[in-house]
Chain A
């Protein structure tokens, strides 16, 4: 048999494989040693994710040694991860349910709650939609599918396209409880089945932006008033219609505003405690306002 030209390639391949396995071994060792140097894992609410990202970015500028890994997915996602012990900080746009706390405790984790910002939930429609005011009752009728045409609430004779967040989002749950069910615990209404469920906040604004029939809801921070139209909401028929804003969210006149939370285990590391203090302090809250959320009141 003559010379084998491919043997060089074979060698090359082998070398690469060796190099790679060596790499992975050193990486392995690094991972074992790192321990404390590992990024703080932060996961959860999509409403909060961009805020959390802005915090993480800014905090890294001030504390280059601390790195914070941010992931979205929904409040349920973050809480589930906290329960499973895979994150350090869970972001949530709703409070943990009792059974979730029980599950966490069963896994040896004792969740601690911190309010980090307030979010006014804006109801939005397309720019071309003539409707600009709705009561909570009307919203409930619309989102349960009892009202299916815009002319029934003073708009054009067009079908209503409902746009909502996925059911794992805290925004969805809040809107369900406070608007669809009007805060009534006995009420068992749910979103109409034809509701489009968007995996993210931006999904809602994008669909509302391009669809003249659509109505959706989203954290105020996500709404771009150049492309979507805010609906003024009234608590009931006799109340004034209020547009969502940082001011109306803070003073409580806008009826659909909720607290945003982060959860940690009972005794987090010093790095996490410092970070949470920074978030709730003036610097963190300045970022809150900058992103269109409502800063928490100073104690």
Chain B
């Protein structure tokens, strides 16, 4: 193990310097520049959104920006209904996806026989591969009428969107939760079983608590995935820029999310108009929200911790 984990730079760094041609120096510099290009790309996207979004934040009084009315053709740019819509759909989606995803991860990792796991895991991978427009199309043509027949005044509701988003977030949640469970040392399970606990007790009292932080990451990335989803939500949530009254059934009200707003309205606006800048400001907001979530999750996972160790290199 010690050999395998040794940083590769040590033998490579002592590579013989003589005989190196200019071409190689150039190639290596290109690679080094390319390596850091990712930072510049993210920075560039951020600066671009800021550049185009800032005029909106500066021009529109904050009180209006956080007002309750979104009606851009009359210059009402209240973001509250859109924030509400995104939040409601995302929270409900995660509330649906979380128990489903974590239970499935536990089932796959701890209970399912290997042959069943070999069938189920590819199916879940397939779910991750289904384009959101296909799910949106099915939601629009099949799920919405179904929800309407269940008694909602219309099938195009926050719940319809949340249900689809939940399934879209499931592959992420399941795979991260599985990793977290996998990382719990074998000895924990063996120990618990040895002192006479049932398999369920072992899972519930020992394995799951040990995997807690991994579960938290699963939740966060699930949120990150759900809040940025666009096409499916655009097609099934009804897009009414409305915050339902407290007495109404929020779940079965139509809502308008930030992503759907951009998708539906961006094509319309003239470059440089207030509306154009406001849509970029919404994009900036989405960027910052996902940036915060992903940075935090990355910190928890430890992804940002420099060089990765090499996996076992001996044969």
Contacts and interface: CB of A to CB of B under 8 A. Distances in A.
Given A167-B72, A190-B71, A73 B267 contact: yes
Interface of A: 73-74, 76-77, 79-80, 83-84, 100, 103, 159, 161, 166-168, 172-173, 176, 188, 190-191, 193-199, 206-207, 210-211, 213-214
A199 B234 contact: yes
Interface of A is mostly: mixed
A83 B269 CA distance: 10
A166 B270 contact: no
A196 B264 contact: no
Contact of A167 (B71, B267, B272): B71
Interface string B97-113: 00000000000000000
B63 to A, nearest CB: 18
Interface of B: 69, 71-74, 81, 140, 145, 148, 153-156, 234-235, 238-244, 253-254, 256, 263-265, 267-273
B264 A161 contact: no
A179 to B, nearest CB: 15
Given A161-B154, A166-B265, A199-B239, A194 B270 contact: no
Contacts of A211: 148, 153-155
Given A159-B153, A194-B253, A213-B154, A74 B268 contact: yes
A73 B270 CA distance: 13
A251 to B, nearest CB: 31
A103 to B, nearest CB: 6
Contact of B244 (A159, A172, A194, A197): A194
Nearest to A173: B73
B270 A83 contact: yes
B154 A168 contact: no
B256 A197 contact: yes
Among the interface residues A100, A188, A195, which one has the most CB atoms of the partner chain B within 10 A? A195
A193 B242 contact: yes
B156 A196 contact: yes
Nearest to A161: B154
Contacts of A76: 267-270
Given A193-B81, A211-B154, A168 B268 contact: yes
B268 A195 contact: no
Contacts of B234: 199
B271 A80 contact: yes
A196 B270 contact: no
A79 B270 contact: yes
Nearest to A164: B240
9 smallest A-B Cβ distances: which pairs? A168-B268, A76-B268, A193-B242, A73-B267, A77-B267, A197-B239, A196-B238, A80-B270, A194-B242
